[in-house]
Amino acid sequence: MDFTLDFAAGCIGGAAGVLVGHPFDTVKVRLQVQSVDRPLYRGTYHCFQSIVRQESMTGLYKGIGSPMMGLTFINAIVFGVQGNAMRRLGHDTPLNQFLAGASAGALQSIICCPMELAKTRMQLQGLGERKSKQKLYKNSLDCLVRIYRKEGFRGINRGMVTTLVRETPGFGIYFLTYDVLTRHLGCEPDDPYMILKLLFAGGMSGIASWISTYPVDVIKSRLQADGVGGYNKYNGIADCVRQSMKREGWRVFTRGLTSTLLRAFPVNATTFATVTLFLMYMRNEEGGITDCEPLPVHSSLTASPQQAQPSSL
């Protein structure tokens, strides 16, 4: 029953996080992949403003279908793997939280990679147009089908290696940071500031995770956007890193970081609060344990915010 509740809470919390954070993600992707020779945007705010002015508010939500579709599968993998890993490790320690989170992050990359590929392609479709005159993709599913027909299985898994490199330590750092913060802040059911503490811990954990893996995300976005317009610039990860460094310097690895961090806190905080409130309500209805009481291996709070990192992260 605990697994079912955690799964349902994760789906609801993850959906809330996607709705809050997707506009920031669209801005991040646009900034990451724009050409240094002919940049369309001067910065985060200008990018946000330009999208709204040229494409309306709906432009900020391009590609949202892909993360929404992948949400159930990602949550199932993350919750199942992390819970089983913690039970096998046997002790609720910061190191075990890192290891369990890393294993969950690695396995959920199988779904995350094609999901983010579709999201990226949809976000770049009709760039700067209020109404796209010719839409290559009808929706996220159509996008993946077309990529598969043209490039095969390898095509829909473009960026898989960089996704694994990002997600494995990213989820580990998320769980480690969350565990350390919640232990330090304390969590009591009758604490009037409990929800604020959970919001803070979840939000800061997301920020820590993104900062630690962001350079890899820049390369992943560029590889997944490569080929849009029928022209491929990169021959692989090393070539992408080399060309990006040569043309734009080390700052290329921070391109879009501001919008990402602006997104990270509210997304993780929203997801965390939604998951926690849902679990508290359901367990109170059942007359079971409260949200802050420890489970045999790991606390329910520790188990609940796994999907707060998007994908992710």
8 A C-beta contact, residue 162 and residue 237: yes
Instruction: Give dist(CA 127, CA 143) in Å, integer.
Output: 16
Residues of the chain above pLDDT 90, percent: 31
Q: How many helices (H) and strands (E) does the chain have?
A: 10, 0
Instruction: Give dist(CA 22, CA 154) in Å, integer.
Output: 26
Q: What pLDDT, on a 0 to 100 scale, did the predictor assign at position 305?
A: 41
Q: What pLDDT, on a 0 to 100 scale, did the predictor assign at position 214?
A: 95
CA distances from 190 to 23, 202, 269, 300 (A): 35, 19, 20, 16
Q: How many CA atoms lie within 13 A of 84 on its CB side?
A: 9
> CA nearest 82: which of 302, 269, 276, 274?
302
Please name the helix (run of DSSP H) or strand (run of DSSP E) that holds residue 34, with its range, or none: none
Per DSSP, the three-state class of 159 is coil
Q: What pLDDT, on a 0 to 100 scale, did the predictor assign at position 288?
A: 52
8 A C-beta contact, residue 217 and residue 209: no
To the nearest 10°, the Cα dihedral for 150, 121, 230, 240?
-110
Question: Taking the alpha carbons of 200, 201, 202, 206 in that order, is the dihedral positive or negative?
Answer: positive
8 A C-beta contact, residue 204 and residue 308: no
The low-confidence residues of the chain, meaning pLDDT below 70, are 1-6, 10, 69, 71-73, 75-76, 79, 126-134, 187, 189, 229, 286-313
The pLDDT tens digits of the residues spanning 37-77 come to: 778 888 888 998 999 999 888 889 888 887 776 765 686 67
Q: What pLDDT, on a 0 to 100 scale, did the predictor assign at position 211?
A: 96
